[in-house]
Structure 1
Amino acid sequence: MDDAVKQVLAPHAPSRDDLTHRQLQSFLDEARRFDNPPPTAVVHPVDFNSLDGALEAGEEGLIEPLLIGPRNKIEAVAEEGGLSLKGVTIIDVEHSHAAAEEAVRLARCGEVHALMKGSLGTSELLGAVVDRQKGLRTERRLSHVFVLDVPSYHKPLLVSDAAINIAPDLMAKKDILQNVIDCAQALGVSQPKAALLSAVEKVKANMQSTLDAAALCKMVDRHQITGAIVDGPLAFDNAISLEAAKAKGIDSPIPGDADILLVPDLESGNILAKQLQYLAGASAAGIVMGARVPLVLTSRAAKPLERLSSCAVAVLVAHQMGRL
């Protein structure tokens, strides 16, 4: 096969390593403008990735990390990985469960303004956060937000919920939508545009996601949900492509300009977010909303930029909540 034919057949999208994610970088720049980095409890950072990510965020001036976990394990990981713990506070506790409880206690007391997941299960950390007596619960359900920098899209794209609520009902979706709206506003989008995703754009009695979308839109009309322009149900193509929406006769301000994609359930959201990451070269920050403080929640496979930008998003959310 000659070079000309290879050029035609080759994928046109740049590789992940060649991409510059300026949208996430802008969040880093914005978060650095605060004079005092927020004290952040890093929960059980006893593997290299979680410890390195926390220390790098501290070096970048994004957060002031407080490492909570068994001191001997943290120091062993640092020594093995060539990481410096100079000037970093370590709160020595026996195990991961104790680390989660201590982090939550510090947040309740106002001594830390964000939490960052280390090397422990998400359910273990969230279990301490939602404890009815000692946790960080609010009137809202917790939900996860992916903040995606997709090279082929003209602005950040927020996808929720793809990590916590498996099959949310209508009232859970109400909280999820309000949480992601609040997150978008913290990132500087004063009136985000939210698309409520389904497989079709019409309300169908036998498709629950379309009924939920219609009800959520009416909740917006009645000011039960505030701060955004919301429309749905919309299929993914109708939310992202103005041309696709026009072809189907959809008259809406959302198509081609969505800031938020509210997914029907965790499975569809997780698949969507990871498709954008691994097939479209997106990078993603991850944060949990709905608690008294933001929670940085990143995948074990997260790249350094994704870990740093997750911290930056948490800083901006903390500022919006009046924590800074």
Structure 2
Amino acid sequence: MTQNESKESVSVNGNTHEKYEALIARCKDLEPVTIAVAHPCDHTSLKGAIDAANAGLIHPFLVGPADKIRQVAAEASIDLGPYEIVDTPHSHAAAARAVELIREGTCELLMKGSLHTDELMSEVVSRDKGLRTERRISHVFIMDVPTYPKPLFITDAAVNIAPDLETKRDICQNAIDLAHVLGVKQPKVAILSAVETINPKIPSTIEAAALCKMADRGQIKGALLDGPLAFDNAINKEAAETKGINSPVAGDADILIVPDLVSGNILAKQLTFLASADAAGIVLGARVPIILTSRADNVRTRLASCAVAALMAAARRSGTKETAGKPTV
């Protein structure tokens, strides 16, 4: 796919995905960002990286068994001529070497290839040789939902299984910092639960109220928070008005903070498979953004994930926003 082709409007069931096209277009004047791609040893992960390179978004370092990478490229008729291959014996070594390329400054971003997420993230969170910071690591889906008027951020649906209140504070701040980089000056953050009232029998409602008060006290910065809110009240003004909710967030949320990984994962996949949404994903809170792609991702989603990471890297270089906290090592 060429750079021009990647920016053409794409339609799914009659719905165009202009939100992702706008994200990708914002990168047209940026230099391609160097990315360490850990173990791109199947067709999907290798093609995703090369498609992003052909679109002018990234310059990949392909980290993994060189013979295997070349074999996959040959089978898929992919030209690896312009790209560096960093040879490692296996996937675990690829993860370690990819993280090392970040630490030594050779690459600015990290991208998951065909290895398991846990294998990559174990190297990222290593206390001695990883990419940890003072901020908890969390995942954000940047959803392009054809029936919603703007990008919808959902977090955390991939990293933190059952986050406590302190972790949810970092989950909120990571998503808010990302929204700022993507041009949302004062994101509206909806803390989701099953109901919109505080119920001691539903712990997520208590935590939602606490997060809102933390924002009032400056422990979460740069956004408007409200919660607890049920999903319908968070994204539909009529539903919010019916319940008598008077809030600048209700019905117009930019960011949805889910109670736990299970509910977030279900929500994101429901939007993907029932509402023809795309779900670009990125991990924040480490020294650099980390692109976690899925085998189910289409080309547009993979390019959008790379575009988001490239914009984050550009913001870090310019010093416009601290997005990852201070290194712990």
Normalising by the residue count of structure 2, what TM-score does the alignment of the two structures yield? 0.92
Show structure 1 runs of 4+ deviating over 6 A. none
Q: What do the CA deviations read for 1:100-147 (whole angstroms, capped 9, x no partner)? A: 111111111221111110000000000000000000000111111000
Normalising by the residue count of structure 1, what TM-score does the alignment of the two structures yield? 0.93
Q: Is 1:104 matched with 2:103?
A: no
Q: Is 1:287 matched with 2:282?
A: yes
Equivalent pairs counted in the alignment come to 310
Name the SS of the counterpart of 2:286 in structure 1: coil
Taking the TM superposition and a 5 Å limit, the aligned residue runs for 1:1-324 are 16=12, 18-34=14-30, 36-322=31-317
**Which residue number in structure 1 is paired with residue 5 of structure 2?**
none
Question: 2: CA distance between counterparts of 1:297 and 1:166?
Answer: 16
1:69–1:95 contact (8 Å) kept in structure 2:
yes
The change in CA–CA distance for 1:122 and 1:323 in structure 2 (over 3 A counts) is: farther
Q: What do the CA deviations read for 1:176-227 (whole angstroms, capped 9, x no partner)? A: 0111111111111111000000001111111110010011001101111101
Question: 2: CA distance between counterparts of 1:72 and 1:267?
Answer: 38
2:143–2:278 contact (8 Å) kept in structure 1:
yes
2:226–2:250 contact (8 Å) kept in structure 1:
no
Q: What do the CA deviations read for 1:269-319 (whole angstroms, capped 9, x no partner)? A: 000000001001101111000000000001111001011110001111112
Structure 1 unaligned runs (5+)? 1-14
> Who wins on radius of gyration, i.e. which is larger?
1
Name the SS of the counterpart of 2:139 in structure 1: strand
Aligned residue type for 1:220? A
Aligned residue type for 2:132? R
| Aligned-pair CA distance for 1:32 | 2.3
Question: 1: CA distance between counterparts of 2:57 and 2:14?
Answer: 25
The change in CA–CA distance for 1:77 and 1:282 in structure 2 (over 3 A counts) is: same
Aligned residue type for 1:284? A
Aligned residue type for 2:69? I
Question: 1: CA distance between counterparts of 2:316 and 2:257?
Answer: 22
Name the SS of the counterpart of 1:64 in structure 2: strand
Question: 2: CA distance between counterparts of 1:283 and 1:270?
Answer: 14
The change in CA–CA distance for 1:119 and 1:323 in structure 2 (over 3 A counts) is: farther
1:103–1:115 contact (8 Å) kept in structure 2:
yes
Question: 1: CA distance between counterparts of 2:135 and 2:54?
Answer: 33
Question: 1: CA distance between counterparts of 2:313 and 2:180?
Answer: 12
Question: 1: CA distance between counterparts of 2:20 and 2:41?
Answer: 27
**Which residue number in structure 2 is paired with residue 6 of structure 1?**
none
| Aligned-pair CA distance for 1:323 | 7.0
Q: Greater CA deviation, 25-34 or 265-274?
A: 25-34
Q: What do the CA deviations read for 1:237-283 (whole angstroms, capped 9, x no partner)? A: 10011111111111100122110000000000000000001001101
Aligned residue type for 1:276? L
Q: What do the CA deviations read for 1:64-89 (whole angstroms, capped 9, x no partner)? A: 01100000000000001111111111
Aligned residue type for 1:119? S
2:99–2:131 contact (8 Å) kept in structure 1:
yes
Aligned residue type for 1:59? N
The change in CA–CA distance for 1:91 and 1:83 in structure 2 (over 3 A counts) is: same
Q: What do the CA deviations read for 1:18-43 (whole angstroms, capped 9, x no partner)? A: 43211011110112221x21100011
**Which residue number in structure 2 is paired with residue 9 of structure 1?**
none
Structure 2 unaligned runs (5+)? 1-10, 320-329
Cα RMSD after superposing both structures? 1.3
| Aligned-pair CA distance for 1:322 | 2.5
- The percent of aligned pairs where both chains have the same amino acid is 58
Question: 2: CA distance between counterparts of 1:42 and 1:186?
Answer: 23
2:38–2:94 contact (8 Å) kept in structure 1:
yes
The change in CA–CA distance for 1:17 and 1:70 in structure 2 (over 3 A counts) is: farther
Name the SS of the counterpart of 1:286 in structure 2: strand
1:113–1:323 contact (8 Å) kept in structure 2:
no
